[in-house]
Amino acid sequence: MLETLYIIIAILVVLLVYAGISAYRLKKTVTNLTQEQFIEGYRKAQLIDVREPKEFDGGHILGARNIPSSQLRQRHKEIRPDKPVYLYCGNGARSGRAAMFLKKKGYTQLNQLQGGFKSWTGKIKSK
């Protein structure tokens, strides 16, 4: 019984350490921007919506290109590494993972919308 408790505690510690390391790496990789900060810079940058096409068609930030996170490995070369990249998804999770992937590919100017599209109150376009 005591051994099982120790195993559970060890697993929880490993998970917490992993979550902490992931959060630290994400913070070093991408800059989280408020909507106001995002609006200030996204017109001079590459605005990428990493949600799936169905989500994108339902409404997206005006001027955004749709490169779903599921296709990013094949399509990342469509994004210029020498220009700032502004990413967003539904809530920030997928855009964070996309930023981590792009960082590994040499992209350095990575930004994401804090809270994702769900928190966006600016202009949108839908099909």
Q: CA 115 from chain center: how many Å? A: 10
DSSP assigned state of 78 = G
Helix, strand, coil shares of the chain, percent, nearest 5, are 50, 15, 30
pLDDT digits (tens, 9 = 90+) for 43-98: 899 999 999 999 999 999 999 999 999 999 999 999 999 999 999 999 988 999 99
Calpha distance 61→48 (Å, rounded): 9
Average pLDDT across the chain, whole number: 91
Active site residues: 89
- The letter for the amino acid at 104 is K
Taking alpha carbons only, the member of 50, 45, 38, 44 closest to residue 96 is 50
In terms of CATH architecture, what is 31-125? Answer: 3-Layer(aba) Sandwich (3.40)
For the chain, the structural domain boundaries read 31-125
The pTM of the full predicted model, rounded to 2 decimals, is 0.80
CA distances from 48 to 62, 111, 119 (A): 11, 10, 16
